[in-house]
């Protein structure tokens, strides 16, 4: 369904005019630094990591909101990063995104229903009355009765309701691939489960694949078939959700898991040292080594590759024993 190969995104660092005059070297933030993965039809992959790890940028490149610095993306065996604009637009109907902030993703001057109608019109799926009818029934489907909600304005809706509109707008195009970027992190706690349920119900109905970006491993546990853990622009570990959670191989995954608040008392704790490194100046060897309590000489020199079939990890000295 989707194959990402060695994806890279470097952002140039803004400099003052004086700095530009004094030095020729340009610094880059290596937001995404060689990410590869594959997804099957109907599969949900959770992309987890701390803020700044590159998970959102990865998602934005896939839906075409950013151009990659390097690497390739194949959607149904077709390379999509080098497509011309018009072809890209056609493709975009099938690859949709749900954003984190439901307050920023809707147009404050447009009626709720018009967001959906516009989506249909732009992609040439339906117009006028037909589009309106489709919008009405999609609003019903996401739990916002069309009769009541079509003519409302975004400000009249709560955060949870807005996120339902954003989901409806993406789903009305019957996409085959959806990137959901922290879709519940700004929603009231008691409403989160319902939003997740709604998203997953579309996965079942359309058999769509979903890249679910989250910093919250407890959410990843319930939504994802697989988990990929990112750190400083790279995937550190990837595998079946429960395997990664209960038998993490990478010390970073284990440290993340040790910090997640839980109702269950923790039996094992893996430490992490200091603060996240600067993405302009990525550490040598394994980029995690300055924070890793188990780092040895080799880790400072050689960068480990992501290796393994079902459960892969990029670590010279993987952990043994489970959580």
Binding footprint of other proteins on the chain (CB under 8 A): 50-51, 158, 160-161, 188-194, 196-197, 215-219, 221-222, 245, 255-264, 272, 275-276, 323
In the bound state with other proteins, the residue whose beta carbon lies nearer, of 129 and 275, is 275
Q: How far is CA 166 from CA 81, 129, 180, in A?
A: 25, 21, 10
Burial 279-311 (b: 16+ CB within 10 A, else e): beeebebbbbbbbbeebeeebeeebbebeeeeb
In the bound state with other proteins, the residue whose beta carbon lies nearer, of 96 and 241, is 241
Look-up: residue for tokens 């992190």? 185
In the bound state with other proteins, the residue whose beta carbon lies nearer, of 52 and 64, is 52
Q: At closest approach, how far in Å is the CB of 224 from other proteins?
A: 11
Q: At closest approach, how far in Å is the CB of 273 from other proteins?
A: 10
Contacts of 6 (CB under 8 A, 6+ apart): 34, 35, 36, 70, 71, 72
Q: At closest approach, how far in Å is the CB of 245 from other proteins?
A: 6
Question: Which tokens hold the place of 167?
Answer: 């989901």
Give the C-alpha separation, 200 to 120, whole Å. Answer: 22
Give the C-alpha separation, 53 to 279, whole Å. Answer: 9
DSSP reduced 3-state for 100: coil
Q: At closest approach, how far in Å is the CB of 15 from other proteins?
A: 17
Q: At closest approach, how far in Å is the CB of 153 from other proteins?
A: 17
In the bound state with other proteins, the residue whose beta carbon lies nearer, of 45 and 73, is 45
In the bound state with other proteins, the residue whose beta carbon lies nearer, of 260 and 282, is 260
Tally of residues, the chain: 323
Alpha-carbon dihedral 144, 145, 151, 152, rounded to 10 degrees: -40
Q: At closest approach, how far in Å is the CB of 197 from other proteins?
A: 6
In the bound state with other proteins, the residue whose beta carbon lies nearer, of 50 and 101, is 50
């Amino acid at each position: 369904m989707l194959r990402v190969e060695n994806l890279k995104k470097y952002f140039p660092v803004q400099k003052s005019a004086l700095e530009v005059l004094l030095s020729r070297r340009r610094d880059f933030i290596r937001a995404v630094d060689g990410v590869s993965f594959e997804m099957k039809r109907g599969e949900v992959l959770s992309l987890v990591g701390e803020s700044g790890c590159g998970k959102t940028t990865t998602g934005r490149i896939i839906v075409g909101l950013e151009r990659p610095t390097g690497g390739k993306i194949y959607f149904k065996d077709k390379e999509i990063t080098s497509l011309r604009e018009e072809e890209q637009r056609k493709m975009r109907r099938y690859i949709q995104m749900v954003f984190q902030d439901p307050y920023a993703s809707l147009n404050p001057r447009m009626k709720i229903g018009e967001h959906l109608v516009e989506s249909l019109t732009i992609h040439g799926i339906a117009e006028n009355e037909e589009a309106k009818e489709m919008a009405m029934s999609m609003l019903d489907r996401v739990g916002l009765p069309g009769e009541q909600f079509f003519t409302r304005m975004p400000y009249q809706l709560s955060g949870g309701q807005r996120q339902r509109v954003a989901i409806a707008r993406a789903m009305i195009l019957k996409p085959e691939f959806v990137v959901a970027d922290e879709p519940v992190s700004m929603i009231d706690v008691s409403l989160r489960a319902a939003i997740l349920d709604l998203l997953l119900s579309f996965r079942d109905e359309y058999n769509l694949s979903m890249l679910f970006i989250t910093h919250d491993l407890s959410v990843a546990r319930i939504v994802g078939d697989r988990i990929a853990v990112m750190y400083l622009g790279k995937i550190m570990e990837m595998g079946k959700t429960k395997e990664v959670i209960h038998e993490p191989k990478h010390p970073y995954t284990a440290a993340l898991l040790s910090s997640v608040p839980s109702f269950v008392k923790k039996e094992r704790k893996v430490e992490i040292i200091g603060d996240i490194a600067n993405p302009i100046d990525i550490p040598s060897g394994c980029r995690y080594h300055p924070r890793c309590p188990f780092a040895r000489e080799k880790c400072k020199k050689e960068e480990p590759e992501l290796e393994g079939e079902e459960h892969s990890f990029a670590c010279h000295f993987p952990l043994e024993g489970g959580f």
